[in-house]
Amino acid sequence: MNALVINCSPVRTGATAEIVRLVSEQLSPKYSTKTVCIDDYGFGFCKGCRSCHTTAQCVQHDEVDLLMSEFEWADVIVSVSPSYWADIPGQFKAFIDRCTPWCNTHEPHACISPGKKGYAIALRTGPSMKECEKVTGSIEHFYGHLEIECCGRLGLCSVEFKESVKDREAEIADFCRQI
C-alpha cells in the first residue's frame, strides 16, 4: 500500500517539513511512502470560469494534474499544514480551488480511485487548539469533496520552529500508529 505525505506549507525546511519527515519515517515500515511539498508544483489560481462543471477538466494546463496523480497513486494521504492566519496556507488553498474538476458537487466530475483514507495534521505557533481545528476542518472538507474518507486528525499547538517539533515526536508517533 502507498502513503502520500504532503507538506502543505511552501517552506521546505521548517516545522511543517520536519513533521512530514517524521510522519514519513513512521509510516515507511508499513507503506511505500512518498513526500511532496505544495511548492514543488507550479499552478495558477482558479479562474472561476466553471468550465470544469460541464467538462470535468480545467481550462488551465499546469501541474495540478501531476499532483492529483500522486493522490491517485496513494491509498493513504496525510496532509500536514501550518496555520496561516487561522487557516491553511494560500498555496494549498489555491491547489484545493483548482481541484474543482474532481469535486463531487457537480456532474460530470473527474474522480480518483475510491477507498482512499485521509489524515490531517495541523500545527500553529500559538496555544489555542481552535485554530488547529479550523485547519484540519479545511483539509477534511477538501477530502470529503474528493470522496477520501477522513480517518484522523492531530492538532499541534505551540510549534513555531523546526526545533519545537522534537518535543512532540512521541505524540506524532502515537498518531501515526492509527494510520
Question: pLDDT tens-digit profile of 130-159?
Answer: 999 999 999 999 999 999 999 999 999 999
- Give the model confidence (pLDDT) of 1-15 as tens digits: 999 999 999 999 999
Beta strands at 76-82 and 32-37: parallel, antiparallel or unpaired: unpaired
Q: What is the band of 50 on the pLDDT scale with cuts at 50, 70, 90?
A: very high
Q: What is the band of 93 on the pLDDT scale with cuts at 50, 70, 90?
A: very high
Per-residue pLDDT, 153: 98
Per-residue pLDDT, 15: 98
Average pLDDT, integer, range 101-127? 96
Per-residue pLDDT, 179: 98
Per-residue pLDDT, 122: 98
Per-residue pLDDT, 63: 98
Average pLDDT, integer, range 10-38? 98
Per-residue pLDDT, 141: 98
Task: Give ∠ CA 169-177-175 in degrees, rounded to 5.
Answer: 50
Per-residue pLDDT, 31: 98
Mean pLDDT of the chain: 97
Arch. (CATH architecture) of 2-177: 3-Layer(aba) Sandwich (3.40)
